């Protein structure tokens, strides 16, 4: 079954939905306009139930098939990023400092297209819950929806997600079983020394020097503590001090950063080593370091059987499904896959700017393939016998 003709016919309309969402980006849980847009469409499509306010601003639409059966969840994310858009598009963001730089506008539009089709045809035995999630970009909206009882409320037994991916040919798919996206942790290290005049460094304990040694020492977590066959990223992404003066050695320096891992054992090791390196390095210079380490998104693990099925569906739509590479970025669909079996797939966005780039734009030509994959997931997983 190739791309469904219905979605090719609807492409101009679905594209216009996407462009409307692109003009009006919203961040994290503040997706009130987007959620209302989604809920209005789902009601217009004839969904049997539309529930708003799950996970704060999430939306779920329920579509009953022609016969009874299991319930499958399909999830798209709705939020944008705090980036100033630089695409020059005629439908570019109308909100300064915010843009859909990761394609969530495309994900939402594609799932709306699939929901319209499924509500119209109902050619399946069971029930579909179409899930529109806020706050994927760091807010943990997936966790919020799961903790709000979404899986139990709608009886969801399997759940599937999709993300566009620049560099994969438009409309082609890629997936892998097991660990796929990394756990994403963040840390703050507050280094305290003793401030002094910059011309008299011997009278102080310089936290900037201590922080610099900590930054360099943290690189040994990957190079000397973790097995080379395992994946770990330790990145210090910001350095601040308590003074901006040219002639002052500050009292404090603050380091911020992130740790990415694909294995809980490595995650534990990285946290332990980061904390000890920071504290002991500061102590060696006569200062102190306080570490705050927050575990954010867990590793996103695709379930083997559901991954095989998702790949088969992708091949039926596009003729090919490649094995995806490991990705050290995070994805809070991990919370849904921890709650229920399922799989997450990439759909090609073509030769475009990377996600999270101010010149990125979702490729509307991928819409028919994405809609078709979601619809086929339902029709093939819940066949009428």
Question: Above 90 in pLDDT, residue 385?
Answer: no
Note the pLDDT tens digit of each residue in 317-326.
Answer: 999 999 999 9
- Under 8 Å between Cβ of 224 and 145: no
Domain boundaries, the chain: 5-179+300-381, 183-297
**What does the buried/exposed string (b/e) look like for 99-129 if buried means 16 or more CB atoms within 10 Å of the residue's CB?**
bbbbbbbbbbbbbbbbbbbbbebbebbbbbb
Average pLDDT over residues 268-288: 98
52 is in an annotated binding site: no
pLDDT value at residue 4: 79
- Decide if pLDDT at 104 tops 70: yes
Q: Is 107 annotated as a binding residue?
A: no
Helix (H) or strand (E) holding 264: helix 264-284
Across 7-36, average pLDDT: 98
137 in a known ligand binding site: yes
Question: Is 19 known as a binding-site position?
Answer: no
43 touches 51 (CB < 8 A): no
Q: Can you tell me the distance from the alpha carbon of 151 to that of 309, in angstroms, rounded to the nearest whole number?
A: 21
Q: How far is CA 174 from CA 170, 227, 319, in A?
A: 11, 27, 12
Q: What is the mean pLDDT of residues 47-71?
A: 98
Tokens of 154: 């709608």
pLDDT in tens, 160-206: 999 999 999 999 999 999 999 999 999 999 999 999 999 999 999 99
Residue 29: its pLDDT value, please?
Answer: 98
Cβ–Cβ under 8 Å, residues 219 and 234: yes
* Segment 252-272 mean pLDDT: 98
Share of the chain above pLDDT 70, in %: 99
Q: What is the pLDDT of residues 222-246, one digit of tens each?
A: 999 999 999 999 999 999 999 999 9
Q: pLDDT at residue 2 above 80?
A: no
User: Does the structure show a pLDDT above 80 at 1?
Assistant: no
For 183-297, CATH number out of 3.30.70.360, 3.40.50.300, 1.20.140.10, 3.40.50.410 equals 3.30.70.360
Q: Which CATH number fits domain 5-179+300-381: 3.40.50.150, 3.40.630.10, 3.30.465.10, 3.40.50.720?
A: 3.40.630.10
At 106-139, the pLDDT tens digits run: 999 999 999 999 999 999 999 999 999 999 999 9
Q: Is 371 assigned a ligand-binding role in the annotation?
A: no
Would you put residue 222 in left (φ > 0), alpha (ψ -120 to 50) or beta? alpha
Q: Is the dihedral of CA 57, 340, 108, 325 positive or negative?
A: positive
CA distance linking residue 385 with residue 180, whole number of Å: 34
Q: What is the average pLDDT value for the chain, to the nearest integer?
A: 97
């Amino acid at each position: 079954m190739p791309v469904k003709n219905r979605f090719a016919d609807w492409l101009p309309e679905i594209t216009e939905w996407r462009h409307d969402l692109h003009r009006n980006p919203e961040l994290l849980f503040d997706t009130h306009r987007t959620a209302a847009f989604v809920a209005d469409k789902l009601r217009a499509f004839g969904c049997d139930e539309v529930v708003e306010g799950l996970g704060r601003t999430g939306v779920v639409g329920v579509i009953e098939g022609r016969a009874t059966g299991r319930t499958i969840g399909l999830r798209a994310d709705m939020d944008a990023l705090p980036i100033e858009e630089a695409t020059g598009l005629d439908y570019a963001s109308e909100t300064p400092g915010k843009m859909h730089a990761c394609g969530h506008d495309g994900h939402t539009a594609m799932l709306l297209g699939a929901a319209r089709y499924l509500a119209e045809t109902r050619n399946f035995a069971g029930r579909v819950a179409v899930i529109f999630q806020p706050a994927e970009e760091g807010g943990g909206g997936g966790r919020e929806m799961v903790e709000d009882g979404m899986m139990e409320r709608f009886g969801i037994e399997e759940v599937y997600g999709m993300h566009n991916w620049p560099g994969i040919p438009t409309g082609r798919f890629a997936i892998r079983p097991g660990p796929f996206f990394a756990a994403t942790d963040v840390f703050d290290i507050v280094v305290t020394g003793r401030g002094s005049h910059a011309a008299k460094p011997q009278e102080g304990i310089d936290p900037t020097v201590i922080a610099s040694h900590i930054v360099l020492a943290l690189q040994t977590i990957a190079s000397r503590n973790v097995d080379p066959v395992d994946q770990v990223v330790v990145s210090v992404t910001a350095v601040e001090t308590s003074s901006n003066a040219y002639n002052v050695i500050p009292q404090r320096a603050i380091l911020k950063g992130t740790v990415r891992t694909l294995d809980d054992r490595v995650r534990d090791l990285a946290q332990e080593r980061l904390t000890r390196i920071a504290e002991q390095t500061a102590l060696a210079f006569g200062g102190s370091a306080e570490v705050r380490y927050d575990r954010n998104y867990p590793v996103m693990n695709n379930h083997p059987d559901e991954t095989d099925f998702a790949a088969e569906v992708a091949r039926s739509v596009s003729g090919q499904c490649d094995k995806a590479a490991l990705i050290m970025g995070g994805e809070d669909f991990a919370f849904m896959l921890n709650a229920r079996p399922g799989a997450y797939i990439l759909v090609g966005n073509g030769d475009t700017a990377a996600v999270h780039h101010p010149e990125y734009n979702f490729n509307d030509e991928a819409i028919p393939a994405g809609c078709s994959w979601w619809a086929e997931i339902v029709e093939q997983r819940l066949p009428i016998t």
